[in-house]
Chains A and B, each alone.
Chain A
């Protein structure tokens, strides 16, 4: 602050404009507008809670991801397939078979030490199990052999194509215990019938075991990079203008559900005719002009989608969610405007003023084609519907487009 200047003009205005409070009589309409502001401010408080919720969910996602990475690192290599999708040679699978059968036989021999009656029943049960296990192993070996003979080279193809081979090796390595079979009390005369009956149900048991192994809710994480031309309109797509957007998303897939969040940068252009744009603090002369808007937006989505189709390397998800728009920069051009003082080019710039927390509904469908275990191609038609007025003029800004991009698996999840 400085001492009042001695400039004569400044002094003239300073003195002439001072002590003017009596010039402005109170207006009830101004208080009504004030009350609206106070009410709006009161409603904003829950938004703070939402922000905390979003932050919490995002933090949980990242924590889960961190936990998963750590546990994956510490996990011993117990499975028959390596993390990169390659499988062990079928010969190795075949070598394992006598060992497993041998183990069963050893157990059966150990059981001989029991009581005579019980020994008989246990022995019968063990024989059944042994027979089934051998059958299962043979079946797995046959499938693996068949695939090998067809000239299939698992080291050069994608994850989805190695799935049958893995399944074969898994089948071969499955050990079925008497408890799995829910065996009835066996009699010597009924053993043969029971073996036949149980062999018939082996397929169902194997399926159940394989499904059980894969049903663990271990999340699979991926990054998705997309870009698209963005069709924008503030007049129900009557006047559409082209913008663009790019985004980076972190996705977490648990079974068929995919949760995703990330950030997108969008350039949203739109136009409105004379009298259709009305912002607070807008001179009346401007409201009579048409406006061309150019907005830079940070889009933070929180989406969930469900896999409705999955076959081989292709998958289709349908998703929805909510986006928060942070209006980084808003530029409005009203063209040439006249007032009592002259004619001028009226533009209107705002930076980082407006934000719309969870104010946009996202609807999308995603087609994904897996190119290899890590890389996938994405095509995503989307539609963004505002639940609140967007930008300084609170316009009904809708966006649609088809995003193209790719996904990159950052965790070695179990194959589907």
Chain B
């Protein structure tokens, strides 16, 4: 959407023109969804978050400064909607045996880009507390202090959640044998060997094998 057209659509949206609202929604749907999907467990949840974000866009459009890029403003609103989702909806008491599992170094990570579908699937598998902190810190570039304030947690919790998120992602890469094209070789992987129904703890085993 060109700048002039965007200006016209925004003006129409300010007058609650439903057709133009749909046009704006449609034009930025993919961009908004690509942000929200990282914070959600699945696309259904992502759509809910995204719509909450667009609702904020439509109801706060009068606050938008046309001198600044619209996408940056929209993106910030989508991140805020994702943070709201975290704060108001899910606080899962999640326990695992990460502390007991061996640390996997970054040396085992592939050197080349991984497929988007694999990466997003791994991020979505993270518990929500870990996923939110990982997104805010690693992807959006927030500091631990900013994350702590946004999520109403301590900086220590933010750091701990980031550490656990990274560990889990490393294990998932190793466990699933995800690799970049042409990098087949020596791999290490983690397998889930037991899930306790009583303590709800997941036990991992670190295996080494050669493909």
Contact = CB atoms under 8 A, between A and B. Distances in A.
Contacts of A4: 141
B159 interface: no
Give the dominant DSSP class at B's interface: helix
Nearest to A340: B125
A352 to B, nearest CB: 9
Interface in A27-41: 27, 30-31, 33-35, 37-38, 41
Interface stretch (A15-23, A381-389, A402-410): A15-23
Contacts of B34: 17, 20-21, 23-24
Interface residues of B, number: 65
Contacts of B195: 342-343
Contacts of A2: 141-143
B91 A349 contact: yes
Give the dominant DSSP class at A's interface: mixed
A276 B73 CA distance: 38
A33 B59 CA distance: 16
Contact of A336 (B51, B89, B116, B200): B200
Interface string A391-411: 000000000000000000000
B48 A281 contact: yes
Contacts of A26: 26, 29-30
B113 A24 contact: no
B70 interface: no
B120 interface: yes
Given A12-B109, A35-B18, A281-B48, A343 B200 contact: yes
A344 B95 contact: yes
Nearest to A14: B139
Interface stretch (B4-12, B37-45, B182-190): B37-45
A280 interface: yes
A353 interface: yes
Contacts of A281: 45, 48-49, 85, 89-90
B114 A342 contact: no
B114 A23 contact: no
A318 interface: no
Given A13-B169, A23-B30, A30 B90 contact: no
A13 B92 contact: no
Contacts of A342: 96, 192, 195, 200, 202
Nearest to B104: A9
Interface string A341-375: 11111111111010000000000000000000000
A20 B34 CA distance: 6
B72 interface: no
Contacts of A117: none
Given A31-B22, A34-B51, A41 B59 contact: yes
A23 B115 CA distance: 12
Contacts of B164: none
Contacts of B90: 281, 348
- Candidate in A2, A3, A346, A347 with the most chain B CB atoms within 10 angstroms: A2
B142 A1 contact: yes
B200 A7 contact: no
Contact of B119 (A13, A27, A340): A13
B138 interface: yes
B50 interface: yes
Interface in B32-84: 33-34, 37-38, 41-42, 44-45, 47-52, 54-55, 58-59
| List of 4 A-B pairs having minimum Cβ-Cβ separation, nearest first | A21-B30, A10-B138, A20-B34, A24-B33
Interface of A: 1-5, 7-10, 12-17, 20-27, 30-31, 33-35, 37-38, 41, 280-281, 283-284, 336, 340-351, 353
16 contacts: A1-B146, A2-B142, A24-B37, A26-B26, A26-B29, A27-B47, A30-B47, A30-B51, A31-B26, A33-B51, A35-B18, A281-B89, A283-B41, A343-B200, A347-B93, A350-B88
Given A41-B55, A336-B197, A348-B89, 6 more contacts: A1-B143, A9-B169, A13-B139, A281-B45, A283-B41, A353-B88
